[in-house]
Amino acid sequence: MEKMPQLGVGTFRLEGKVARQSVMDSLDIGYRHIDTAQIYGNEEEVGDAIQTNGIDREELFVTTKVWYEKLGRDHFIPSVHTSLSKLKTDYVDLLLIHWPYPNNDIAMDEYLNCLAEAKEQGLCRHIGVSNFTLSQMQQAVSILGKNTIYTNQIECHPYMQNRQVVAACEEHNMNVTAYMPLAVGKVMKDDTLLAIAEKYAASPAQVTLAWLESKGIYAIPSSTSRKHLQSNFDAQKVQLDERDISRINELDNGERIVDPDFAPDWD
């Protein structure tokens, strides 16, 4: 698929049969955008689900991410071949650098040039980054050139709206993909979101996903429950008015959920 669907399904923390079933259910429901990563340890199960479902590969948008330990020139391309083998596909639609290399111990131009090489070799159709800061995005654009980086995948939800990074992505003509869009379920208990959800006969999760869509932000919520996968998919029918979008904008408090010890210095 040439263009990434706005709503995808994430597979972070899903393992084994659970990961396989989640992707199977997602494809049955109608999702066509599936996100995985080398470090999730589930590329094989994602590949099984895609193959078993039998949907034409051209109808799918599959993303995987190169783990930082594989960013060196010797490991990069071989690791992508391993991912493709596990996913049982000749290419991914989007290949991301999962995290910038900690402390720049491997130079960014080394691994970004490997990323560009993967695209030249036909191993992926689009290339992008994840968890890149403002200065790292600027550096990446100076290395790869304008309009080359398809997306920056970042933590983004009502409590961590990452506005500076989102604005910079727009300036660089990069899509923004939100991971953890439901703040690991915290949105379900939020009084403001509950009130807005009642107005639209929707769930707080649906309202959150509709809010991201209203901003042109892509989202990859994950779930092991078919019911929740369906509910998230149905969020595409919810159209929020400007006032409710503003109310959700006000929930931003900079609460970051994902902050491993190898993370960059956040903006």
Alpha carbon distance 12, 30 (integer Å): 20
Alpha carbon distance 155, 137 (integer Å): 15
Catalytic residue among 31, 40, 111, 218: 40
Alpha carbon distance 131, 137 (integer Å): 9
Judge whether 40 counts as a catalytic residue. Answer: yes
179's tokens: 């991971």
Alpha carbon distance 16, 71 (integer Å): 26
Question: b vs e for 146-156, b when ≥16 Cβ sit within 10 Å of the residue's Cβ?
Answer: eebbbbbbbbb
Alpha carbon distance 123, 42 (integer Å): 19
Check if the beta carbon of residue 181 is closer than 8 Å to that of residue 156.
yes
Check if the beta carbon of residue 174 is closer than 8 Å to that of residue 152.
yes
Alpha carbon distance 238, 241 (integer Å): 10
Alpha carbon distance 212, 6 (integer Å): 9
DSSP state of 100: P
Alpha carbon distance 258, 207 (integer Å): 22
Report the candidate in 232, 186, 194, 243 with the shortest Cα–Cα distance to residue 210: 232
Alpha carbon distance 93, 103 (integer Å): 29
Q: Active-site residue numbers?
A: 40
